[in-house]
């Protein structure tokens, strides 16, 4: 690895994914400073986002949404002098991605639109798959750093394109888990044991990595959070907004978003998004 292996790296957002990515960067002997809104008592933790960014060449965002990314960007702006790139790995709305790119340009640093797929387990193993929008020479320069937390890096095109792809793929995951919930509810209501349905799905063309991950835990009522329902609802709403801007009607994700909103309103937002099954619980 070249000179950038000595660079200081700021990782902002110590949630499910950011904390694991920071751990992997530390394990790779990178010089890491982290920040989280709610203090996490980490040895690399700093009091403010600006403290973490001061002196950092590379800044990763693993924050929840676009509003937070904009707020945190504003709070670190005065500390960006030595920063060369902001890599936003949070899933945000397209407008925020374009805004961040513009603000980074004004601040004199590069920007990569860098959402990912892979959940808690993949993040722990350093096996995320990043979709990257932005200048490929910038990506190539920082690729070795991204590879520490990745099993694959897929260039998507210009800034914004990775955001759109990420949102488009997430609506498949949300809709799939809605379909799994309906399937499980119908089968069990008719007396079919859940393990019979699980083995039927695994041998069926409708089976997928996602169904094999989610169906067994759903059948056990285990909603330990890998990707939260509230974050999936956020992404579904981003998808609906992209559809509306393109003049498209998308009834599948619209229905699933409505169900997710109802469950979040009842207090299930921090559970895994497979808690979609709760719509069938009394």
* 24 makes contact with ligand NAP (CB under 6 A): no
Residue 223's closest CA among 282, 182, 269, 259?
269
* 37 makes contact with ligand NAP (CB under 6 A): yes
Counting residues that bind ligand NAP (by CB under 6 A) gives: 22
Which residue number, 117 or 211, has a Cβ lying nearer to ligand NAP?
117
* 277 makes contact with ligand NAP (CB under 6 A): no
Binding to ligand NAP in span 102-131, by CB under 6 A: 116-117, 119
What's the sign of the alpha-carbon dihedral 172, 11, 20, 125?
positive
Site string for ligand NAP, 57-96 (x = CB under 6 A): -----xxx---x---------------------xx-----
Query: ∠ at Cα 218 (213, 224), nearest 5°?
Result: 80
Paired residues of 69 in beta bridges: none
| C-alpha to C-alpha distance for 217 and 52, rounded to whole angstroms | 37
Q: Which residue is nearest to ligand NAP (CB)?
A: 15
Residue 61, both tokens: 């965002």
Binding to ligand NAP in span 195-254, by CB under 6 A: 226-228, 231
**Count of beta carbons in the 10 Å neighbourhood of residue 65:** 18
Site string for ligand NAP, 147-166 (x = CB under 6 A): --------------------
Name residues whose C-beta falls within 8 Å of residue 70's C-beta, 6 or more positions apart in sequence: 96, 99, 100
Which residues in this chain contact ligand NAP in the complex, by CB under 6 A? 13-18, 36-38, 62-64, 68, 90-91, 116-117, 119, 226-228, 231
């Amino acid at each position: 690895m070249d000179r950038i292996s000595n660079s200081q790296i700021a990782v902002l957002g110590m949630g499910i994914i950011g904390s694991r990515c920071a751990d992997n960067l530390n394990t790779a002997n990178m010089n890491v400073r982290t920040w989280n809104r709610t203090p996490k008592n980490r040895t690399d933790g700093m009091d403010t986002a600006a403290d973490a960014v001061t002196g950092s060449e590379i800044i990763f965002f693993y924050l929840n949404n676009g509003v937070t990314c904009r707020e945190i960007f504003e709070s670190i702006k005065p500390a960006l002098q030595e920063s060369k790139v902001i890599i936003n790995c949070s899933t945000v709305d397209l407008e925020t991605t374009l805004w961040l790119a513009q603000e980074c340009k004004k601040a004199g640093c590069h920007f990569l639109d860098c959402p990912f797929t892979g959940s808690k387990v993949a993040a722990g193993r350093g096996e995320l798959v990043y979709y990257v929008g932005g200048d490929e020479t910038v990506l190539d320069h920082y690729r070795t750093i991204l590879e520490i937390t990745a099993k694959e890096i897929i260039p998507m095109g210009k800034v914004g394109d990775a955001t759109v792809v990420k949102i488009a793929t997430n609506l498949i995951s949300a809709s799939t888990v809605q379909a799994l919930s309906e399937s499980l509810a119908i089968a069990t209501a008719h007396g079919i044991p859940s393990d019979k349905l699980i083995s039927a799905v695994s041998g069926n063309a409708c089976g997928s990595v996602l169904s094999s991950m989610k169906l067994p835990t759903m059948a056990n009522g285990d909603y330990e959070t890998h990707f939260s329902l509230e974050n999936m609802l956020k992404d579904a709403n981003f998808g609906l907004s992209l559809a509306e801007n393109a003049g498209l009607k998308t009834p599948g994700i619209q229905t699933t978003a409505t169900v997710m909103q109802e469950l979040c309103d009842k207090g299930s937002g921090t559970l895994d998004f497979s808690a979609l099954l709760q719509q069938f619980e009394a």
